[in-house]
Amino acid sequence: MADPSLHHEVHPLKFIAVDYCPESCTHSPESSTITLTFDHRGGSRWRSTTRFQYGTFSSLIQCPKGNTSGLNFNIYLSSLEGDKSQDEIDFEFLGKDKRIVQTNYYTAGTGNREAIHDLGFDCSDGFHEYVIKWGPDLIQWLIDGKVIRSVVRADGEGFPQKPMFLYASVWDASYIDEGRWTGPYVGCDAPYICLYKNVNVPVGTAVEEAGDL
C-alpha cells in the first residue's frame, strides 16, 4: 500500500527566513519566486519558517549559468542546519558539472548515502521540477515527474524522522576534498543566480512556527 504521507496535499511556500547575507536573496510571494545570488559577498541561504513532519516538497529550479565550478546549489530538508545530529534529505548540484545532481540523506548526523544521477540536460538551461517525497518508511526523489531514486527503510535501520525545514542555498564548496567534489572555484561568470519558482510544501504537517533561529 502506498504511504499516504508521500502524497500529501501541498500549498505554496509564502514565508521564508534568510539565514545569512539577506541582501543576496529576494523573495516575491506575488510571483512565487525566490532568487539567490552568489558574488563577491558570498552566497545566501533561505529556509521555511516552519518545520514539517513528512510530506511532499517541490520547486521549479533554474540553476546558475556560466562557469559554476566550485559552487554548490541545492534544495534540501534538514532538522536544523549546523546541528551535527541532524536529519536531512538533499538535492545538491555540483558546480563542476551541471548535467548531474547528487542525492543524499542523513539520519542523526550520519550520511554517506550519496548517489549521482545523470540529468540528461544542463540544469541552467531552464526550469525543471525537483520533488522530495518523505514518509516514515520511504523517501523518493523526482525530477520532472520521474522517480530517480527510492529508498525504503530496512528493519532496524535509522531513517529521517525529525521535523525538518525546507532549505536552499548557493555557496562556495571548493574547499571540500581539495576541490574534487564541486571543482575549484573560478568565478569568471559572477554574479551567479539561482532561481526557485512555485515552491510547494505540505498542508497539515507543520510542526511549529520556528521564527528566526
Helix/strand/coil for 30: coil
Annotated catalytic residue within 88, 114, 129, 178: 88
Annotated catalytic residue within 30, 81, 92, 209: 92
Q: Where are the alpha helices (DSSP H) in the chain?
A: none
DSSP 49-80: SEEE-SEEEEEEEEPPPS--TTEEEEEEEESS
Is omega for the bond preceding 191 within 30 degrees of 0, making it cis?
yes
Contacts of 177 (CB under 8 A, 6+ apart): none
User: Are the C-beta atoms of residues 61 and 123 closer than 8 Å to each other?
Assistant: yes
Q: Active site includes 209?
A: no
Contacts of 204 (CB under 8 A, 6+ apart): 8, 9
Tell me how many degrees the CA angle 7-9-143 measures, rounded to the nearest 5: 55
Output the nine-digit C-alpha cell for 4. 499516504
Catalytically active residues are: 88, 92
